[in-house]
Structure 1
Amino acid sequence: MTAPAPAPAPTRDPGPDSRPARGVRLDGVARGFDGPQGRHEVLRALDLELAPGGIHAVIGPSGCGKSTLLRLVAGLDAPSTGRLTTPGAERTAVAFQEPRLLPWRTLEANVALGLPRGTARREGRDRVRRLLQLVGLEHAAGQRPREVSGGMAQRASLARALARGPEVLLLDEPFGALDALTRLRMQDLLLEIHAAEPTTVLVVTHDVEEALYLADQVLLLRSLRGAEAGAASLARRIDVPGARPRDRTDPALAQLRAELLEGLGVPTHHHTEDPR
């Protein structure tokens, strides 16, 4: 009996600086894990293309594979089957819900950790200074994480992720731990950063309003049912109209919000006239 062929490895470019910016493509990508109760599939037959330079949001219920998808694109994991094409791990950066800054280093030194290896000292210093200005932290460059607010720490985390000049920026619930007002401010800051340094952004979020405000395209993952229960696949792809920054009260966004909530299984309430 012939042994099955191994799953194809992700295709990753070496990512020299002269290479034009690229997006991300998944063709029939699946990811499963072997456990004590057998094989558990997380993602199944996922076809996805992220246009270069766009902001793409992924939403879905907890446990549907959003973080698994992010790990695949980041190069931290490999698909069980299918083909994944990205610019490469060295041209991809990740920022998480928690800033994950080194507490004994200043914000400036934490941002510098994101610089590519071999960066000349003066070039690196100038790059870090520019990023700190971009995220509004130049006044706090010498402070340590415990001395600043959660929003400031998250801004430093974003600056660190941008330090290498990534072609793809991956954000895993980046503002989920912040208070509501700071979260709104961070959303606007992300748009300002993207305008100043365009890159392909993939953001995982549970917040439908955040997805519609930030993204050119919202991708809804949903767990499959019936015989295929357990794995998740792409249920809906919604292109969001309008230039950024958008009006959060735009009726068009309200309609898309209702569609996404319906796709998530959240009932929306329609008001009707009182017949009396």
Structure 2
Amino acid sequence: MSVTALDRSVALPADVDQPAPRGGAVDLVEVGRAFSGTGGRRDVLRDLTVQIRAGEILAVVGPSGCGKSTLLRVIGGLDRPTAGAVTVAGQPVVDTDARTAIAFQEPRLLPWRTLAQNVELGLPQGTGRRAGRARVAELLELVGLTASADLNPRQVSGGMAQRASLARALARGPEVLLLDEPFGALDALTRLRMQDLLLQVHAVEPTTVVLVTHDVEEALFLADRVLLLRTLTPEDGSSSVARILTAPGERPRDRAEAAFADLRADLLTGLGVDTHHASPL
């Protein structure tokens, strides 16, 4: 089943079976990551223990410098923890782990290649030419870029380029999709549309997703759970995990729902922002 329209409902039709999660469960056990510099050792992550269910969308929020991007790099095998263990589907994460794929805030497309050719770069090594063409076409249709397949990145909008970046990450067939502020550089309207698109894609290809974002509303709208990280200080010895919240209701969620607004205020308070929000009696 394919989804091409950005404004289409993210729910699959009632007569279509919901696809089983094909993502891998991620287990982080007492994970720590420290860096050494002229000022001595600095802990960025400490004693972080989280279990991410297969097919779950987990959003990660927290103040700048709390280790959100570092956590993604550790899960993806792009960085090694200095303490603890990380597994995907029960197996240890290795360097540049092929079971994971990452998409960044910038699309990072090669400007001399078409969108289709950029997506093709994400295919697993050894993919046959015919199978590769079919998979690229399937992914371009999924993200609504079939008509733009032969355009270069400079010929498309930022939102279209980010859709191509998402398709390239999915081309790998990852068990875990890591998204580092993927919509942060987009305008407000395009960002909302991309949020809907991500849910549409996840409904069709239900991989495990770990999403780093500074947008609390985005986290609650997209995720099953939200992991709030804290900035570490040398004095307190606390875990990086400040809280883990379960998002209310089923997707797609109503941003105006009272429970949604209350959790949004709760998360912002955890980030040190005074929301002046009063819950209804």
Q: TM-score, normalised by structure 1?
A: 0.88
Name the CA distance, whole Å, in 2 between partners of 1:22 and 1:271: 39
Equivalent positions of 1:165-176 (< 5 A) are 165-176=173-184
Single out whichever of 126-135 and 237-246 deviates more from structure 2: 237-246
Match of 2:271 among 249, 264, 267: 264
Q: Give the letter aligned to residue 259 of structure 2.
A: A
**How many corresponding residue pairs?**
252
Give the drift of 1:34: 1.1
Match of 2:252 among 245, 250, 275: 245
Name the CA distance, whole Å, in 2 between partners of 1:225 and 1:110: 42
Equivalent positions of 1:217-256 (< 5 A) are 217-225=225-233, 227-228=235-236, 233-256=240-263
Name the CA distance, whole Å, in 1 between partners of 2:142 and 2:60: 26
- Name the SS for the 2:275 alignment partner: coil
Q: Give the letter aligned to residue 266 of structure 2.
A: E
Name the CA distance, whole Å, in 1 between partners of 2:184 and 2:272: 21
Q: Give the letter aligned to residue 42 of structure 1.
A: V
Name the CA distance, whole Å, in 1 between partners of 2:234 and 2:125: 49
Give the structure 2 partner of residue 179 of structure 1. Answer: 187
Give the structure 2 partner of residue 27 of structure 1. Answer: 29
Match of 1:214 among 198, 222, 225: 222
Q: Is the 8 A contact 1:98 1:154 kept in 2?
A: yes
Q: Give the letter aligned to residue 100 of structure 2.
A: T
- Name the SS for the 2:240 alignment partner: strand
Name the CA distance, whole Å, in 2 between partners of 1:61 and 1:141: 38
Give the drift of 1:226: 6.5
Give the structure 2 partner of residue 202 of structure 1. Answer: 210
Deviations along 1:227-252, whole A, 9 cap, x unmatched?
137x8600000011211111111111
Match of 1:78 among 80, 91, 97: 80
- Name the SS for the 1:201 alignment partner: strand
Deviations along 1:139-175, whole A, 9 cap, x unmatched?
0000000000000000000000000111100000000
Q: Is the 8 A contact 1:223 1:232 kept in 2?
A: no
For structure 2, which runs of at least 5 residues remain unmatched after alignment?
A: 1-21
Deviations along 1:93-136, whole A, 9 cap, x unmatched?
00000000000000000000000000011000000000000000
Give the structure 1 partner of residue 117 of structure 2. Answer: 109
Percent sequence identity over matched residues? 66
Give the drift of 1:212: 0.3
Give the drift of 1:225: 4.4
Against the structure 1 CA distance between its residues 206 and 232, is the aligned structure 2 distance closer, same or farther, given a 3 Å change threshold?
Answer: farther
Give the structure 2 partner of residue 192 of structure 1. Answer: 200
Give the drift of 1:224: 3.3
Does residue 145 in structure 1 map to residue 153 in structure 2? yes
Q: Is the 8 A contact 1:23 1:51 kept in 2?
A: yes
Give the structure 1 partner of residue 98 of structure 2. Answer: 90
Name the CA distance, whole Å, in 2 between partners of 1:265 and 1:121: 52
Q: Note the aligned Cα RMSD (angstroms).
A: 1.5
Name the CA distance, whole Å, in 2 between partners of 1:208 and 1:21: 24
Name the CA distance, whole Å, in 2 between partners of 1:182 and 1:270: 27
Higher Cα Rg, which structure: 1
Name the CA distance, whole Å, in 2 between partners of 1:118 and 1:220: 39
- Name the SS for the 2:179 alignment partner: strand
Does residue 65 in structure 1 map to residue 72 in structure 2? no
Against the structure 1 CA distance between its residues 177 and 129, is the aligned structure 2 distance closer, same or farther, given a 3 Å change threshold?
Answer: same
Q: Is the 8 A contact 1:65 1:232 kept in 2?
A: no
Give the structure 2 partner of residue 7 of structure 1. Answer: none
Q: Which is bigger in relative contact order (C-alpha 8 A, separation at least 6)?
A: 2
Q: Give the letter aligned to residue 33 of structure 2.
A: R
Single out whichever of 217-226 and 90-99 deviates more from structure 2: 217-226
| Stretches (4+) displaced over 4 A | none
Name the CA distance, whole Å, in 2 between partners of 1:199 and 1:21: 4
Q: Give the letter aligned to residue 108 of structure 1.
A: A
Give the drift of 1:21: 4.1
Match of 2:43 among 41, 59, 64: 41
